[in-house]
Chains A and B, each alone.
Chain A
Amino acid sequence: GAVVSQHPSWVICKSGTSVKIECRSLDFQATTMFWYRQFPKQSLMLMATSNEGSKATYEQGVEKDKFLINHASLTLSTLTVTSAHPEDSSFYICSALARETQYFGPGTRLLVL
């Protein structure tokens, strides 16, 4: 149990376009989900906390207008990278909180050309 999926697993886009990444909890409901960003050979950096039915809480230095988060249901949170630029290329990982444990998705690799 406690499986989290992400879609897509990888995406390549042109600079200036927007990209939406989905995070789903498949077999449980999660009122809280988290979005992380990971650069190559680096640690995970928390970007924002997504709460179902309310606005996301962004970490310091993360532009909320750049990274739009929508947690519309108890099993789905989406991260939209708006007007993506090459510096947004990274590995984005979500997690869902259940029973005081974070369950992580497999990640989405974004490459902006």
Chain B
Amino acid sequence: SQQGEEDPQALSIQEGENATMNCSYKTSINNLQWYRQNSGRGLVHLILIRSNEREKHSGRLRVTLDTSKKSSSLLITASRAADTASYFCATDPTGANSKLTFGKGITLSVRP
């Protein structure tokens, strides 16, 4: 079964607004990662948060992790049309980055 489950499945917002995407998982993890995929392209690594971390920032990205609830959120602030893409969370159980399990993804549309 899928390890990561994102919600919502699709999100449409206006440029300048914030976008919040959630991911839930089922088993224990070493870290959780978020990726972006533009239509028909490969994945771009956005940010990694380890199981002993609660929050991490990178530019306009803010990721939180709640291991007690087995959930993570990705916040994109001041969204831009170029942020339009699919976003996936992926869990890594060992930290070796060799057995990533991806969620189904969230399609984000940012209207200019």
Contacts and interface: CB of A to CB of B under 8 A. Distances in A.
A109 interface: yes
B43 A44 contact: yes
Interface string A99-111: 0111111110100
Main secondary structure of the interface of B (DSSP, over half): loop
Interface residues of A, number: 24
A60 interface: no
Interface residues of B, number: 23
Contact of A103 (B45, B98, B99): B45
A23 B105 CA distance: 24
Contact of B88 (A43, A97, A100): A43
A107 B98 contact: no
Contacts of B107: 41
A32 interface: yes
Contacts of A91: 40
A102 B91 CA distance: 13
A104 B88 CA distance: 13
B88 A102 contact: no
Interface of B: 2, 4, 35, 40-45, 48, 88, 95-105, 107
